[in-house]
């Protein structure tokens, strides 16, 4: 590869890294807008510290867990050592034909932090900050890279007769975060007042304009999330992934719109916002494999699924304030299965491999999350007390209000 093409490829992945990084602002805005004003500082704090946790843990442990190197082919666990094993000298162009070692690390590190961010939304408004941050350190530093190594690091799922395929992380990022979110929400229990006398009581978010801003910022960043996963600036592949990503998101909006209207007989903006995200998560596993029509269908089904998933989790009293479990877990599973149903690899063998991957990764994440959350629950506790929850986490965990001019004066 000539130097000019190498520079262009490397630069595009760095630009995509920036787009994935800005998604953390999207998560912060979405989660803050979909929850109550009294917990806004807490939401913003978690979404500020999580990228820092992700970068540090991935640099010192996660990257070498996820990419153990030579001799790992077909493995379950490998570790190349603590810290970044940088190539000699400043010129790392020999690391890969398309990008440098540094570029590979920083792009992957942005993905790592996303998994813990997904958990944040589902456990919002009642989890203690300290235990949540401890869980995030372990989940990003250990759980996420181990499951990632099974596919992207050349592990056993990559050596199946029909290798498990997850282009940009419907399972490896989104459902990994979704499984952690599910276990966390289950062990925490619902927010006070969410379920009364066997009925579901809506607890509306305080700022839907902020939530809408967050979703569009996430959609914007997703072009880097999926487009950067091409791992080159190949004009045909990148533009194709941009198109399938955009169309799946748009179709997800319509899937959620139609399903929510048929179910609730109103035009619910929160469902449409989650429908957009559902379409994005659904296409992420196979964005490079799908035609225009297939991308639209996958996104539409994802958008409809998220509505029924939200209803289901409410019925079983799993309280998820922002719909993170439905968006990232339900649609992450759907998007991964879609690779075996639609696109260039469709077929029974591929669908079986996709199912094996979903089950294996899901089982590991569930066990890991349950052990960590359960031990925290039995030791430090994971839930704030009733008075703190009623008053709000902002004033009790952080000693401040997000909107001091509008705070209730005692």
pLDDT at 69: 82
Degrees, nearest 5: CA angle 208-209-213: 115
Q: Looking at residues 192-202, what average pLDDT do you find?
A: 88
Which pLDDT does position 87 carry in this prediction? 59
The CATH number of residue 150's host domain is 1.10.3430.10
| Residue 87 in domain | no
Which residue range is the domain that position 10 belongs to?
3-74+97-406
Which pLDDT score is estimated for 96? Answer: 65
Using pLDDT thresholds of 50, 70 and 90, give the confidence band for residue 207: very high
* pLDDT tens-place string over residues 259-291: 999 999 999 999 999 999 999 999 999 999 999
pLDDT confidence tier of residue 94, bands split at 50, 70 and 90? low
Predicted pLDDT of residue 116: 80
Q: Please give the sequence-ordered ranges of beta strands (E in DSSP) within 363-404, or none if there are none.
A: none
| Number of domains into which the chain is organized | 1
Structure-block tokens of residue 376? 């925290």
pLDDT band at 114 (very low <50, low <70, confident <90, very high): confident
Q: Taking the CA atoms of 146, 152, 154 and 159 in sequence, report the sign of the dihedral they define.
A: positive
Instruction: Please spell the DSSP secondary structure of 29-60, one letter per residue.
Output: HHHHHTS-GGGHHHHHHHHHHHHHHHHHHIII
pLDDT band at 98 (very low <50, low <70, confident <90, very high): confident
Sign of CA dihedral 148, 154, 160, 165: positive
Q: What are the CA-CA distances from residue 243 to residues 217, 240, 248, 295 (Å)? A: 17, 5, 8, 9
pTM equals 0.94
Average pLDDT over residues 158-176: 96
* Rounded percentage of the chain residues whose pLDDT exceeds 70: 96
Residue 128, domain member (yes or no): yes
CA dist., res. 397 & res. 395, Å (int): 6
What span, in angstroms and rounded, lies between the C-alpha atoms of 240 and 295? 11
Tokens standing for residue 323: 């719909």
- Which has the closest alpha carbon to 136: 115, 110, 121? 115
Q: Is the pLDDT of residue 410 over 50?
A: no
Residues 6+ apart with CB under 8 A from 66: 108, 144, 145, 146, 148, 149, 152, 153
Q: Tell me, yes or no, whether 235 lies in a domain.
A: yes
Per 3-state DSSP, the chain is made up of helix, strand and coil in percentages (nearest 5) of: 70, 0, 30
Q: DSSP class of residue 171?
A: I
The stretch 290-297 carries a mean pLDDT of 98
Residue 94, Cβ neighbours under 10 Å: how many? 11
As a dihedral over the C-alpha atoms of residue 21, residue 24, residue 29, residue 33, rounded to 10 degrees, the angle is: 150
Helix (H) or strand (E) holding 116: helix 101-122
Does residue 273 belong to any structural domain of this protein? Answer: yes
Which pLDDT score, from 0 to 100, does residue 198 have?
A: 79
Burial class (CB in 10 A: 0-12, 13-18, 19+), 200: middle
Q: Is residue 86 part of a domain?
A: no
CA atoms within 13 A on the CB side of 157: 25
Indicate whether 81 belongs to any domain.
no
| Overall residue count recorded for the chain in this entry | 410
Alpha-carbon distance of 21 to 114, in angstroms, equals: 9
- Say if 270 falls within a structural domain: yes
196: in domain: yes
Name the phi and psi angles at 408, rounded to 5.
Answer: -65, 130
With bands split at pLDDT 50, 70 and 90, how would you rate the model's confidence at 196? confident
Helix (H) or strand (E) holding 186: helix 176-188
Chain mean pLDDT for the chain: 93
Lowest mean pLDDT of 50-64, 101-115, 242-256, 309-323, name the range. Answer: 101-115
Of 225, 170, 213, 226, nearest in space to 18 by CA: 225
pLDDT score at 197: 80
Looking at residue 21, its pLDDT comes to: 95
Q: SS3 letters for 275-292?
A: HHHHHHHHHHCCCCCCCH
pLDDT of 99? 86
Sorted by sequence, the CB contacts under 8 Å of residue 367 that are 6+ apart come out as none
| β-bridge partners, 127 | 383
């Amino acid at each position: 590869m000539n130097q000019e093409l190498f520079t262009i490829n490397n630069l595009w992945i760095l630009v995509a890294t920036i787009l994935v990084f800005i998604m953390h602002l999207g998560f912060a805005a979405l989660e803050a807008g979909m929850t109550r004003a009294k917990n806004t500082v807490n939401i913003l704090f978690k979404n500020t510290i999580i990228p820092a946790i992700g970068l540090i843990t991935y640099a010192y442990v996660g990257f070498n867990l996820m990419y153990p190197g030579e001799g790992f082919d077909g493995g379950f666990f490998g570790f190349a050592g603590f810290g970044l094993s940088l190539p000699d000298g400043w010129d790392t162009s020999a690391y890969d034909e398309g990008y440098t070692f540094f570029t590979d690390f920083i792009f992957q590190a942005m993905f790592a932090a996303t998994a813990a961010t997904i958990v944040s939304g589902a456990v919002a408004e009642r989890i203690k900050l300290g235990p949540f941050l401890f869980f995030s350190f372990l989940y990003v530093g250990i759980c996420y890279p181990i499951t990632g190594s099974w596919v992207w690091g050349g592990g056993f799922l990559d050596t199946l007769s029909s290798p498990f395929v997850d282009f940009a992380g419907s399972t490896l990022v989104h459902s990994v975060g979704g499984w952690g979110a599910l276990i966390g929400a289950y062990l925490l229990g619902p927010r006070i007042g969410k379920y009364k006398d066997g009925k579901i009581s809506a607890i509306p978010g305080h700022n839907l304009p902020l939530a809408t801003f967050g979703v569009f910022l996430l959609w914007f960043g997703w072009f880097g999330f999926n487009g950067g996963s091409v791992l080159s600036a190949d004009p045909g592949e990148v533009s194709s992934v941009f198109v399938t990503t955009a169309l799946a998101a748009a179709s997800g909006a319509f899937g959620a719109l139609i399903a929510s209207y048929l179910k609730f007989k109103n035009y619910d903006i929160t469902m449409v916002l989650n429908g957009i995200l559902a379409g994005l998560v659904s296409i992420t596993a196979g964005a490079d494999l799908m035609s225009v029509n297939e991308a639209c269908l996958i996104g539409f089904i994802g958008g409809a699924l998220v509505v029924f998933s939200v209803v289901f989790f409410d019925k079983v009293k799993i309280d998820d304030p922002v719909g993170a479990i439905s968006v990232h877990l339900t649609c992450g599973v759907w998007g991964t299965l879609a690779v075996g149903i639609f696109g260039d690899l469709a077929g029974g063998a591929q669908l079986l491999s996709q199912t094996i991957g979903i089950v294996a990764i899901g089982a590991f994440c569930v066990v890991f999350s349950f052990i960590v959350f359960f031990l925290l629950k039995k030791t430090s506790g994971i839930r704030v007390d009733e008075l703190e929850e009623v008053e709000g986490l902002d004033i009790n965990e952080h000693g401040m209000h997000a909107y001091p001019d509008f705070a209730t004066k005692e």
